[in-house]
Amino acid sequence: DALKGFWVCDVNGVLGVQSKGGEGRTPLSEEQLPFARDDASVGLSLLEAARVAKPTVVLGLSAVGGLFSEDLVRQVASTCDRPIIFPMSNPTSKAECTAEQAFAWTDGRCIFGSGSPFEPVTLSDGRHFIPSQCNNMYLFPGLGLGASLISARVVSDGMIYAASVAISECLTEEEKALGRIFPDIDRIREVSLAVAVAVAQSAIDEDIARELPSLVMEGKETLTQYVESRMYDPVYVPIVNPHS
């Protein structure tokens, strides 16, 4: 049922077991096959598919700059109060649309995240938005720290999910009001700490932690203290006292 909710398009339109006419299409890869449709939608263009499917999310992984046209974005926004617009391609020249376009074409209603960095956006009515770049730096440092501190046997789906939830819970109301979907980068150490704690706790709960210092078993507060004490502080310290 979940797969039916995905309408995946390539240069030939909506993926299907066969394209319209059955010819002229590169065979689908093993990864594409689960998303291939067998109905009348096969071969529809991106805009045509949006009109039929009425999606709430458009995810760009094409590396085709400008693929998300104004007509497409406005179509998605016409059937969804808070359309999710994710042009994930980079560099910026290959982004499917810009942050300014996404916010303008949805009247500031979109939830925006991108693979490339974009400058803050101010709409004609004065509303101000700060686009978020979807960067793995929010997750990987904390994921690695949390997993290593308790010597997790594996990195489970549950640990990755816990990391994702921890990132979302770090967002402040002020950041949400500015259109952010990730916390301010200036708080990255705070975010990494929260992620590491969540990952370690998930591994403990799943019984896949091989090392459990007594401190971590006393509750979240002591677990947080333990993780924080193991975080590297990247600062230069003087080796020679200049006054000696």
Question: What are 111-158's pLDDT values in tens digits?
Answer: 999 999 999 999 999 999 999 999 999 999 999 999 999 999 999 999
The residue ranges of the chain whose pLDDT is under 50 are: 19-21
Residue 236 lies in a domain: no
The number of folded domains in the chain is: 2
Residue 238 lies in a domain: no
Residue 240 lies in a domain: no
Cα distance from N-terminal residue to C-terminal residue, the chain = 72
Q: Are residues 179 and 91 in the same domain?
A: no
Residue 22 lies in a domain: yes
The CATH number of the domain holding residue 90 is 3.40.50.720
Q: Are residues 126 and 14 in the same domain?
A: yes
Q: Are residues 13 and 25 in the same domain?
A: yes
Please name the residues in contact with 208: beta carbons below 8 A apart, sequence gap of 6 or more.
152, 153, 154, 156
Residue 43 lies in a domain: yes
- The predicted structure's pLDDT at residue 139: 96
- The predicted structure's pLDDT at residue 18: 61
Residue 244 lies in a domain: no
Q: Are residues 29 and 143 in the same domain?
A: no
Residue 235 lies in a domain: no
- The predicted structure's pLDDT at residue 215: 62
Q: Are residues 113 and 159 in the same domain?
A: no
Q: Are residues 79 and 19 in the same domain?
A: yes
The boundaries of the domain holding residue 98 are 2-133
Q: Is 241 annotated as a binding residue?
A: no
- The predicted structure's pLDDT at residue 19: 46
Q: Is 90 annotated as a binding residue?
A: yes
- The predicted structure's pLDDT at residue 150: 92
The CATH number of the domain holding residue 161 is 3.40.50.10380
- The predicted structure's pLDDT at residue 233: 84
